[in-house]
Structure 1
Amino acid sequence: MKFSILIANYNNGKFFEDCYHSIIAQTFTDWEAVILDDASTDDSLEVISALVKDDCRFKIFRNEVNSGVGITKSKLIELSNGDICGFVDPDDAITPDALKSSIDVFKKDKKTVLTYSSFMKCDEHLKPLEQFKSGMQVVNSDPYFFNCPVHIVHFVCFRKDVYEKTEKMNSEMKIAEDQDLYLKIYEKGKVKFIDEANYLYRTHSGGISQNENLPKSREYFAKVIFNAMKRRNLTTINGKKIPEKYSNPKEIYDLLEYQNSIPFRIMKKMKILFQ
C-alpha cells in the first residue's frame, strides 16, 4: 500500500524545509511526495529542488499560470500514484508516525475510506502552542452530518480509488474545497478518527485560511454544506425546509443550529459509542 503526500505550493519556499524534513523522517517508508507549484513568484522551486535534490520519491510539477488552490489540489490527486492520499501544506509539517498511523487503519479495515487525526497549532517557527480541541470520532453513515462544527480537518487521508467514484474536488469552492472533498468521501464509507496530533499547523500572516480569509471560508463552507444537502436528496432538516437555491450562509447555518443542543449531542455520543 503506497502513500501519496500531496503538496500544493504557492510562495511558501521559506517554510518548506520543515515540511521536507518531516516527510523524510516518516517511519512508514512506501511513500511518494507530489509537489505542484502554482506559479509562485518567490524562489520556491529553487528552494524545493535544492532540498529534494535527486531523491526520486519527490516529484515536482508546476502550473504555467496561477490557478488557485482548488485546481492545484485536484491536479495533485490526478498526478499521484499511491493507494492512499493526504494533503500536507508546504508551510506545515507532520509527525514521524503520521503516515503509519493512517496506513495501519486502512489495512485493518477495508471499509474505512478516510482517516483523520488531531493537529497541533504552532507559531511561525513551528513551536507548538495548543492542540486542536475538537478532534473526535464522528457518526458514520449519517445523511445529516456536515462536519459543522468542524471535527475532520488535519491530518486527513483517503483512498484514491474511492475519490475516483465521487464527483471529485470542486475547485469553485475555494478555501473550503477540502471540506467539500471530505463530505463527498464521507458519503462512500466509514471514516476513522486517529487520536493523535499528527499534523503541525503553522500560523503566520501569509496562511491561506487565516486572517482576512476567515469570512470567505465561512461563505464557501456554507455552499459546500448546501451542495451536500442537495447531493443527498434532502428536502428538510429537523422539520425545516431546505431552500431550493443557495442565497446566504446564515440560512444554511440556521438549519444546523439544532445540532448544538444538549439532547442532540448526547444522542450523537451514544451513536458513536455503539457504531
Structure 2
Amino acid sequence: MSIVSIITPVYNASRFLEETAGCVSAQTLQDWEWILVDDKSEDNSREIMERLAKKDNRIKIFFLEKNLGSGPARNKAIQEAQGKYIAFLDSDDFWSPDKLQKHVDFMVENNAVFSHTSYGFTNEQGEVIRETYHVSDVPVTYSMLLKKTEISCLTAMYDQERIGKYFMPDLRRKQDYALWLSILKDGHPSIPLDEELAMYRQVSGSATNNKFKLIIKHLKFLMEVEKLSFFKSLYYSFHWGINGLKNIISKGRYTL
C-alpha cells in the first residue's frame, strides 16, 4: 500500500496532462499511487493516460462511460484509493517537487488528519501571474470555511486511514468545497501549512463569474446543500463576499 493516493479527474486534458505527470514523477516522496479517472474526454487524454500507465505501474487509470463531471470522477478515484493519505491534483495544475514529502511530514508532526497549504497562480504557459495565496495561521473550522474559501483542492490532504473515506456530493460546482465542509463538520479541523507547495493554473475559459452572482450562488449552496437557514446563509455569504473583496483590494487576487 502506498502512503499517498493522488486523485486526478481528467477531461480534455491533453494540453497539460504530461506536464502534470512530470510533477508527480518528480516528487521527492516516491511512495505514491496516482489514480486518474477520465470523464469521457473528447480529445486524446485517454491515449496519454494509457501511455503513462504503461510506463509506471503506480499509475492507475479508469474511464467513465459518460460525462458526469469532476465530482463523480474524483469519487471513483477516492473509491479505488489504497493510500493512507488522499491528496488532490487536477490535470492542469502542478506541485513543487517536495510537496508530498513536506506535506506528509507536516501531517505526522502535527498529528493532523486534514491539512492544506499555501499556493501560487500561473497562466497557461506556467508563468507566475499573482502573489502567493497564504493560508491562515490557525486551524480552519467549519464556521471559518463558511466565511472564507481558504482550502484549494490541489493543496488538500486527508488521512483516510484515521477518518475514513470522504466523497464529494453530486454537484456540478463546489463539490470540493462541500467535501471540506463535511470533514470539518465531523470535527476534523484543517491544519494550515503556510508554504507555497502547489500552483493553480488559470486556464482560458475558467475565469470567475460576476462577483454578485457568485455570492448569490454561495447563498443558495449554503441553504440547499448545507441546509442552513436563510439568515445564517445570508450571514455567512456576506462575510464570504467581503473576504473575497478584501483579497481583490489588498492583493489583486480573487479567491471566491
Asked if 1 retains the 8 angstrom alpha-carbon contact of 2:215 and 2:241, the reply is: no
Unpaired runs of 5+ residues, structure 2, are: 243-256
Structure-to-structure mapping, 1:166-181, within 5 angstroms? 168-172=167-171, 174-181=172-179
* TM score, norm. by length of structure 2: 0.81
Residues of 1 paired with 2:131 and 2:239: CA distance? 27
Residues of 2 paired with 1:228 and 1:148: CA distance? 15
Q: Does 1:119 align with 2:119?
A: yes
Structure 1 residues 60 and 253, CA gap change in structure 2 (3 angstroms): same
Moved over 4 A (4+): 211-220, 227-230, 258-261
Residue type matched to 1:199 in 2? A
Residue type matched to 2:219 in 1? A
Query: C-alpha offsets along residues 76-132 of structure 1, whole Å, 9 cap, x if unaligned?
Result: 11011111111111011111111112111222233x221111111001111222234
Structure-to-structure mapping, 1:133-172, within 5 angstroms? 133-140=133-140, 142=141, 144-153=143-152, 154-161=154-161, 164=164, 168-172=167-171
Query: C-alpha offsets along residues 184-227 of structure 1, whole Å, 9 cap, x if unaligned?
Result: 112332321111111111111144xx345977765554344346
1:149 positional shift: 2.1
Residue type matched to 1:79 in 2? E
Structure 1 residues 171 and 163, CA gap change in structure 2 (3 angstroms): farther
Residues of 1 paired with 2:177 and 2:240: CA distance? 18
Larger Rg computed on CA atoms = 1
Residues of 1 paired with 2:241 and 2:39: CA distance? 39
Aligned to 1:222: 219
Q: Secondary structure of the residue that 1:53 maps to in structure 2?
A: helix
Residue type matched to 2:157 in 1? C
Query: C-alpha offsets along residues 30-56 of structure 1, whole Å, 9 cap, x if unaligned?
Result: 100000000100000112322443310
Structure 1 residues 163 and 70, CA gap change in structure 2 (3 angstroms): farther
Unpaired runs of 5+ residues, structure 1, are: 235-241, 245-250, 262-275
Residues of 2 paired with 1:116 and 1:28: CA distance? 17
Structure 1 residues 164 and 225, CA gap change in structure 2 (3 angstroms): farther
Asked if 1 retains the 8 angstrom alpha-carbon contact of 2:142 and 2:184, the reply is: no
Aligned to 1:96: 97
Residues of 2 paired with 1:215 and 1:49: CA distance? 42
Aligned to 1:186: 184
Aligned to 1:201: 200
Between Structure 1 and Structure 2, how many residues are aligned? 240
1:74 positional shift: 1.4
Identity %: 26
Q: Does 1:75 align with 2:76?
A: yes
Structure 1 residues 15 and 186, CA gap change in structure 2 (3 angstroms): same
Residues of 1 paired with 2:226 and 2:205: CA distance? 33
Query: C-alpha offsets along residues 240-270 of structure 1, whole Å, 9 cap, x if unaligned?
Result: xx339xxxxxx82444546899xxxxxxxxx
Residues of 2 paired with 1:258 and 1:119: CA distance? 22
Residues of 1 paired with 2:210 and 2:53: CA distance? 31
Q: Secondary structure of the residue that 2:5 maps to in structure 1?
A: strand
1:133 positional shift: 3.3
Aligned to 2:44: 43
Residues of 2 paired with 1:178 and 1:255: CA distance? 18
* TM score, norm. by length of structure 1: 0.76
Residues of 1 paired with 2:179 and 2:26: CA distance? 28
